[in-house]
Amino acid sequence: MFDVEKEYKKLGLKYNEFLKIQEYLGRMPNYLELSIYSVMWSEHCSYKSSKALLKNFKTTGEYVLQGPGENAGVLDIGDNQAIVFKMESHNHPSAVEPYQGAATGIGGIIRDIFAMGARPICSLNSLRFGKLDEDEHQKYLFEMVVKGIGDYGNCMGIPTAGGEVYFDETYKGNCLVNAMSVGIVQKDKLIKSRAFGAGNYVVLIGSSTGRDGIHGATFASDELNEESESRRPSVQVGDPFMEKVVLEVCLELIDKNLILGLQDMGAAGITSSSVEMASKGNVGLDIDVAMVPLREASMLPYEIMISESQERMLALVEPSKLPEVKTICNKWNINCERIGIVNDSGLYRIFKGPELLGEIPVKSLTDGAPVYHHKFEKPKYFDDVCNFSLSEDDYLSLLNKYTYNEIFKKVISSPNICSKKWVWEQYDHMVQTNTVLLPGHDSAVIRVKDTKKAIAFSCDGNGRYCYLDPYKGAIIAVAETARNLACCGAVPMGLTDCLNFGTPEKPGIFWQFKNSIDGIIKACEVLEIPVISGNVSFYNESFGKAIYPTPIIGTAGLIKDVSNLIGMNFKDEEDIVILIGNDNDFKCSENDGMGGSEFMELFFNKVAGKCPDIDLSYEKTLDKLCVELINNGLVKSAHDVSTGGIAVTIAESCISGNIGAQINIDEKEKNLLKALYNENQSRIVISANKRNLKAIKNKCEGSQIAYLEIGTVGGKNFNINNKINIEINEIISLYNNTIEKIMSK
Q: What is the pLDDT of residues 197-232, one digit of tens each?
A: 999 999 999 999 998 877 655 555 455 655 555 444
Is 92 annotated as catalytic? Answer: no
Determine whether 90 is an active site residue: yes
- Helical spans, DSSP H, in 590-727: 598-604, 616-631, 646-657, 672-677, 693-703
The mean of the pLDDT values for the chain is: 93
Beta-carbon count within 10 A of 561 CB: 12
Instruction: Indicate the pLDDT class of residue 588, thresholds 50, 70 and 90.
Output: very low
Q: Checking phi first, is residue 540 left (phi over 0); if not, alpha (psi -120 to 50) or beta? A: beta
pLDDT-based confidence at 161, cuts 50/70/90?
A: very high
What mean pLDDT is predicted for residues 112-135? 95
* pLDDT above 90 coverage of the chain, percent: 88
Rg (CA), the chain: 26
Q: How far is 242 from 231, CA to CA, in rounded Å?
A: 25
Mean pLDDT of 109-118: 97
Using alpha carbons, list the distances in angstroms from residue 496 to 56, 75, 129, 317, 579.
Answer: 15, 11, 22, 30, 30
Distance CA 305, CA 527 (A): 43
List 44, 215, 441, 639, catalytic entry: 44
Contact between 419 and 623 under an 8 Å Cβ cutoff? The reply is no
Distance CA 350, CA 356 (A): 6
Which residue of the set 90, 92, 429, 441 is catalytic?
90
pLDDT for 584 equals 62
Which is it for the CA torsion 286, 291, 296, 298, positive or negative?
A: positive
Per-residue exposure over 322-348, b if at least 16 CB sit within 10 Å of its own CB, e if not: beebbebbeeeebbbbbbbbbbebebb
Q: Would the pLDDT of 74 be above 70?
A: yes
Return the pLDDT at 231. Answer: 46
What integer is the mean pLDDT of 717-730?
A: 97
Instruction: Give the per-residue pLDDT at 222.
Output: 57
3-state secondary structure of 417: coil
Q: How many Cα atoms are found within 13 Å in the side-chain-facing hemisphere of 596?
A: 27
How many percent of the chain have pLDDT more than 70? 95
Q: Looking at residues 536-542, what average pLDDT do you find?
A: 95
pLDDT at 438: 83
| Torsion of Cα atoms, 403 then 404 then 407 then 413, to 10° | -120
Q: Distance between CA 653 and CA 442 in Å, rounded?
A: 11
* pLDDT, mean of residues 641-659: 97
- Separation of alpha carbons 700 and 288, rounded Å: 66
CA angle 366, 371, 374 (to 5 degrees): 155
What pLDDT band is residue 610 in, cutting at 50, 70 and 90?
Answer: very high
Q: What is the mean pLDDT of residues 479-506?
A: 97
- At residue 547, the 3 state secondary structure works out as coil
For position 232, what pLDDT does the model report?
44
Confidence class of residue 591 from pLDDT cuts 50, 70 and 90? confident
Q: What secondary structure letter does DSSP report for 119?
A: E
Read off the pLDDT of residues 371-408 as tens digits, 9 standing for 90 and up. Answer: 999 999 999 999 999 999 999 999 999 999 999 999 99
Domains annotated for the chain, with CATH where assigned, are 1-40+193-371 (3.90.650.10), 54-190+433-565 (3.30.1330.10), 384-418+566-745 (3.90.650.10)
What's the mean pLDDT in 139-159?
A: 95
pLDDT at 463: 97
233 pLDDT higher than 70: no
For the segment 154-171, the average pLDDT, to the nearest whole number, is 94
**Which residues have C-beta within 8 Å of that of residue 744, sequence separation ≥ 6?**
none
Mean pLDDT of 415-443: 90
- Is the pLDDT at 607 greater than 50? The verdict is yes
What pLDDT score was predicted for residue 266?
Answer: 82
Determine the 3-state secondary structure of 528 from DSSP.
Answer: coil
In sequence order, the 6+-apart residues with CB closer than 8 A to the CB of 696 are 578, 629, 634, 635, 686, 688, 707
Per-residue confidence (pLDDT) for residue 318, from 0 to 100: 98
Please say if the pLDDT value at position 615 is more than 60.
yes
| Model pTM score | 0.95
Q: Please say if the pLDDT value at position 681 is more than 60.
A: yes
Q: Which residues pair with 553 in a beta bridge?
A: 460, 497
279-288, 296-305, 527-536, 664-673: the lowest-pLDDT one = 664-673
